[in-house]
Structure 1
Amino acid sequence: MKNRGSFSIAMFLLFTCTLATKCVAQESNVWENYKNAVQNNTEPILPNFSYAGYRFSETGIPEAAHKVFSVQDFGARPNDGISDKKAITKAIEAAEANGSGIVYFPAGKYLINTKDDDLNTIKITSSNIVLRGPKNPSEKAILFFERDMPPTVPEHLWTSPYAIQTKTANESTFITDITGAARRETHTIQVSDASKIKKGDWVIVQVKDNDPKFVEQDIYPLPLNPKWTSIIEDGVQVNERHKVASVSGNKITFVEPIHYTISEQQNWKLYTFPHLTEIGFENLTFEGNWKKNFVHHRSAQDDGGWSILNLTGLVDSWVKNCTFTNINRAIYFSHCAATTAQNLVIDGKIGHSAVSVGGGSTGVLLAFINDKAGMQHASGVGGGSTTATVIWRSKHPAHSSFESHASQPRSTLFDNIEGGFFSGRAGGAVKNLPNHGRYLVLWNYKETDAPETNFPFVAKDMEYWRVVPPIVVGFHGAGTTFKPDEVQIVESLNAPVKPESLFEAQLELRLGELPKWIQDLKNDSPK
């Protein structure tokens, strides 16, 4: 190991294959390090990503069996050219009043945000609500959003509301101070008073500290740019969401590991995490009316006119088997945990962003996302110190690249991604840089655009692309190489490694076997 400041940064020898050489996947040294660390209870190089997803990915997404509230029973009439928004809202309200419900859309086209409608967001404010279309793929329920949602602040192009939003009624509140130190990738913390905490609670592990030494340590070895005012003034921010497994005195053990080392030098705190559970969207097509050729930041319409799902404050929830057509932003996950989006298609006109995870979310799984349109920002992360996001077995075209939208995302896994890979598409204002913090992991990423020599994670020709050195394993496809001083690890360059999927391997190691839902999803998903 080579020590850089207070961090140990491993640099493995490059195993490089030319494009003309047939390469056989080798067992990853980084993976061996992880297995040994788990066995010996030492700190691994890799974060443990295996807890991402619905119910920590230990089980598949359920077939919810609540009482059915058909939107047609509340006045919706597909294919008649008349708005169905009020009927849909009434059906959701009836399901919420019941305490649970399937809001069902029979096949057909339902109109929302027509000239006769208000442009208020449709809100879901209770747990156990599922919006569902027909299970038979030949029968499509289409939610067509005719008009765009104008920005709430006209001069701020990014403020267009989403058409549908989940929202909790309560705000997060302070519980107690965290005392003592705790190493990353461990499960137990010490607090000053655990009397208000019990098994099964969800809490937020939080720090906000602008001590210059702490800031420097957080972004090392990147030099601090005076323009990065968010991290300079507001400080390093961590907002990890965790489920309590047990409480013993003032020791709290979480189901999942923490991903940031807790030091006594900072003032770490524990907060409540108000949330909704078992919210689902499935077998639906969300269609916008976006017909223009996209230009980034040209207008509020380009950046967010047809924004569909803003999923805020969710635990153990999902979006599955849905299509998003002619939209500007498909899904934004904010303040979520243990939630999954799987088997999604984004097609039609190019828009602003695909599926984005932000707002301090922890352990969100994006699985089999097929961005056929090639959004300006393909699926990825950003905002609010989001942690332990997994983007797994997903695709985007060569003209697009993954999102890492600044505001302190950390510990993100791009696992078996196929698509373009280049700087300048990550997004984020200069004041909110760097684009990504420590432990960005690219695992068996297949690049489909043109290769680059000495690809930079610190761009020289722009000020918008700055990434704390990532871990790059099994990167292949085009022949791109990386600058050695801008990566934490490069292993097996231009040749995939074993295990093929880090997420699957970590999950199998934790559970002793790979859950059946994983193989079922791989078998059922389009290749």
Structure 2
Amino acid sequence: MSKRSLFFNVLFICQIFVVAAQEVPKILTDKKITENHYLPDFSYAGYHNGEVELPYSFDKIVLATDFGVVANDGLDDSKALLKALEATKKMPGNIILQLPTGKLILSNILFIERSNFVLRGAGAGAGGTEIYCPRPLMYLDSPDALTELREYLVTFDKRERQKENNIDLPFSQYAWSGGIIWTQVPGERVKSYLGKYDTAKNVLAKVTKGERGETTFEVSEIKNLKVGAVVQLELFNKSGEKGAIIDDLYKKADVKVGSHHWMFPTLPIVSQQVEILKIQGKKITIKTPLTISIKPAFEARLVEWKHLTEVGIEHLKITFPNAPRVAHHVEPGFNAICLTRLFNSWVKDVEITNADSGVLTEEIANVTIKNIVTNGSNLAHYTVAMAGVHNVLVNNLKVFNEAVHPLSFNTFSTKNVYQNCEVFVKPVLDQHSGANHQNLFDNVTVHLSVKKDNSYPLFAGGGAGYWKPSHGAYSTFWNINVQVLNNHDLPSNVLLNGMLDGPYANLVGVHGNKNFQIKYEPSPYIELLNSNLYKIPSLYNYQLQKRLDKN
């Protein structure tokens, strides 16, 4: 045996002993700790709650080339692509719209507005399908879906103001919305901005009582609620600044709570999209657990939720040109994919170059976003962002470009997971204010250069002051691998900080190529700092397997 082979055999044996001897985190095993430091079950995130693989075969394949799409001819393919998309709306069954290999040019929005539909390319790599978008969304006709947002931006004079840079510019409607490929239910509102657009919802039941983490709760006034329906559970704060739901979200932590938590009592402050499994008198059983307990003061209810199902976007590359950066929130709309009103759907195997935002989301649930690469020289706002979503799994996202918010849980997001993701440039594990709670960064790797004081704001949270604090209780970081690129000659610990208003977070297994200290406030639970969790590298996988074994 060669010395090299012997070395690697010894190294492998040592790793086996390390794994065997490693302590299982006490937050999983110690009853006292689990009672005082709640660890949510994140295993329901993803397509069909992670219980089935993403589908491949569909009933019918429709070739885009049959509608005049021609790759690599240097001509705009928008009209032909829209024609093909329109034709598939009228086709029954499960449809794949197959794009050809080569480069297509797209200068119009492709709205996906039907269920049981896949937009499929020939691959994201060499020899695959590239969709090149020469112009940003700001040069297209303004979409009906953003009418309310546009009015809101003007009414409240939303502007990016940077005196030091001589910037005073209106926000773009595309700063956090829209995409060149865009899923929507036509005519259905996605996000409330102005009260005058509010309409009465179809209330299916009032929810009177339920416990956090449970799937059965009590209801009254049931009306047209059916087993198998996917509906929206809504909880409200109608009790003002001292509302009990605020205490439940932030556990009475010493954090400043922004005014949006009580200024809009007719809008839900917590929402979950849920599937009805059982109706037994006044008891309802849903597929996924409650994020917080339900009390009479929350005036909780189940309402109709219109959405698309079994929609896929896969195997393609979306490219934008190099473009100068103007300012934050003034992005012109080089946005690749926008997902709204989806359930049990997916995006996979997509490379996105030079986007302002790669994948934007709003009001989706049970969606898997997998094997995504973002790159390019433009400074992005978001890569793959989660906003107002529930049980979404982002798996194996690779971020090679600089972004303001590389990984971001945004307003109203709950029980979502970034798993096995890697950020190579200026990483931030962002939690973006707005009652988002119980989200998971799972087995994430980041590469960073520390500041002169040997610190790095890895946990910096964004968001407007009226939606602070940065997150609710029980956000979780599991097995975070931090690779420091500089200051290797300094013996002192690296300080990871940036979060001052994130109550009761769980940080387990933060480790890397340096020794780290963590400053995360207030009241975090920190365990196995500077330990790689070899035994349980992914909390999501561990919880999912445990749940599947039980069933």
Structure 1 length normalisation: TM-score? Answer: 0.82
Seen in structure 2, the aligned counterparts of structure 1 residues 481 and 424 have a Cα distance that, compared at 3 Å, is closer
Partner of 2:11: none
**Aligned residues of 2:171 and 2:330 also touching (Cα < 8 A):** no
What is the distance in 2 between the residues matched to 1:187 and 1:92? 39
Cα distance per residue 1:191-239 (max 9 Å; x no partner): 113341122111111112053142244324444537x221242367101
What is the distance in 1 between the residues matched to 2:460 and 2:230? 34
What is the distance in 2 between the residues matched to 1:33 and 1:233? 41
Where in structure 2 are the equivalents of 1:206-221 lying within 5 Å? 206-211=234-239, 212-214=242-244, 215-221=246-252
What is the distance in 1 between the residues matched to 2:48 and 2:459? 35
TM-aligned CA deviation for residue 499 of structure 1: 1.6
What is the distance in 2 between the residues matched to 1:298 and 1:67? 41
Cα distance per residue 1:387-420 (max 9 Å; x no partner): 1101100000251212322222111010000115
Cα distance per residue 1:9-36 (max 9 Å; x no partner): xxxxxxxxxxxxx996420111125899
What is the distance in 2 between the residues matched to 1:491 and 1:296? 39
Q: 2:482 corresponds to which letter in structure 1?
A: E
Partner of 1:501: 538
Moved more, 448-457 or 270-279: 448-457
Matched, 1:86 2:79: yes
Q: 2:309 corresponds to which letter in structure 1?
A: T
Q: How many residues were matched structurally?
A: 469
What is the distance in 2 between the residues matched to 1:425 and 1:374? 15
Matched, 1:418 2:437: no
Partner of 1:103: 97
51, 54, 59: which one aligns with 1:58? 51
Partner of 2:294: 262
Seen in structure 2, the aligned counterparts of structure 1 residues 44 and 487 have a Cα distance that, compared at 3 Å, is closer
What is the distance in 1 between the residues matched to 2:63 and 2:550? 39
Where in structure 2 are the equivalents of 1:185-264 lying within 5 Å? 185-211=213-239, 212-214=242-244, 215-223=246-254, 225=256, 228-234=258-264, 237-264=269-296
What is the distance in 2 between the residues matched to 1:457 and 1:142? 39
Segments of 4+ moved more than 6 angstroms: 34-37
Where in structure 2 are the equivalents of 1:368-517 lying within 5 Å? 368-383=396-411, 385-419=412-446, 420=448, 422=457, 425-449=460-484, 452-453=494-495, 455-458=497-500, 466-477=501-512, 478-483=514-519, 486-497=522-533, 498-512=535-549
What is the distance in 2 between the residues matched to 1:111 and 1:484? 46
**Aligned residues of 1:377 and 1:426 also touching (Cα < 8 A):** no
TM-aligned CA deviation for residue 343 of structure 1: 0.7
Seen in structure 2, the aligned counterparts of structure 1 residues 136 and 397 have a Cα distance that, compared at 3 Å, is closer
Matched, 1:28 2:45: no
**Aligned residues of 2:230 and 2:273 also touching (Cα < 8 A):** yes
Moved more, 24-33 or 257-266: 24-33
What is the distance in 2 between the residues matched to 1:208 and 1:290? 44
Consecutive unaligned residues in structure 1, runs of 5 or more: 1-21, 114-118, 459-465, 515-527
What is the distance in 2 between the residues matched to 1:425 and 1:456? 4
What is the distance in 1 between the residues matched to 2:96 and 2:436? 34
Tell me the SS of whatever aligns to 1:157: coil
TM-aligned CA deviation for residue 330 of structure 1: 0.6
Consecutive unaligned residues in structure 2, runs of 5 or more: 1-17, 143-149, 151-168, 190-200, 449-455, 487-492
Q: 2:464 corresponds to which letter in structure 1?
A: A
Matched, 1:156 2:155: no
What is the distance in 1 between the residues matched to 2:499 and 2:430? 14
Partner of 1:517: none
**Aligned residues of 1:43 and 1:184 also touching (Cα < 8 A):** no
**Aligned residues of 2:179 and 2:335 also touching (Cα < 8 A):** yes
Partner of 2:339: 311
What is the distance in 2 between the residues matched to 1:455 and 1:440? 15
Partner of 1:521: none
TM-aligned CA deviation for residue 307 of structure 1: 0.7
What is the distance in 1 between the residues matched to 2:472 and 2:537? 25
Moved more, 213-222 or 252-261: 213-222
Q: 1:109 corresponds to which letter in structure 2?
A: K
Tell me the SS of whatever aligns to 2:427: coil
**Aligned residues of 1:290 and 1:328 also touching (Cα < 8 A):** no
119, 126, 150: which one aligns with 2:114? 126
Tell me the SS of whatever aligns to 2:179: coil
Seen in structure 2, the aligned counterparts of structure 1 residues 426 and 74 have a Cα distance that, compared at 3 Å, is farther
**Aligned residues of 2:316 and 2:351 also touching (Cα < 8 A):** yes
Q: 2:463 corresponds to which letter in structure 1?
A: G
Root mean square deviation of aligned Cα: 2.7
What is the distance in 2 between the residues matched to 1:164 and 1:416? 29
Seen in structure 2, the aligned counterparts of structure 1 residues 52 and 424 have a Cα distance that, compared at 3 Å, is closer
Partner of 2:5: none
TM-aligned CA deviation for residue 290 of structure 1: 3.2
What is the distance in 2 between the residues matched to 1:210 and 1:290? 47
Matched, 1:341 2:366: no
Seen in structure 2, the aligned counterparts of structure 1 residues 502 and 81 have a Cα distance that, compared at 3 Å, is same
What is the distance in 2 between the residues matched to 1:34 and 1:506? 17
71, 92, 97: which one aligns with 2:64? 71
TM-aligned CA deviation for residue 300 of structure 1: 2.4
Tell me the SS of whatever aligns to 2:380: coil
What is the distance in 1 between the residues matched to 2:187 and 2:290? 25
- Percent identity, please: 25
What is the distance in 2 between the residues matched to 1:426 and 1:341? 23
Which structure has the greater CA radius of gyration? 2
TM-aligned CA deviation for residue 65 of structure 1: 1.7
**Aligned residues of 1:48 and 1:506 also touching (Cα < 8 A):** yes
Matched, 1:145 2:113: no
**Aligned residues of 1:33 and 1:45 also touching (Cα < 8 A):** no
160, 183, 186: which one aligns with 1:166? 183
**Aligned residues of 1:242 and 1:254 also touching (Cα < 8 A):** yes
**Aligned residues of 1:290 and 1:327 also touching (Cα < 8 A):** no
TM-aligned CA deviation for residue 46 of structure 1: 0.9
**Aligned residues of 1:413 and 1:443 also touching (Cα < 8 A):** yes
What is the distance in 1 between the residues matched to 2:505 and 2:355? 31
**Aligned residues of 2:207 and 2:300 also touching (Cα < 8 A):** yes
Where in structure 2 are the equivalents of 1:168-183 lying within 5 Å? 168-169=185-186, 171=188, 173-183=201-211
Tell me the SS of whatever aligns to 2:209: coil
Tell me the SS of whatever aligns to 1:79: coil
Cα distance per residue 1:65-85 (max 9 Å; x no partner): 232222211111111111101
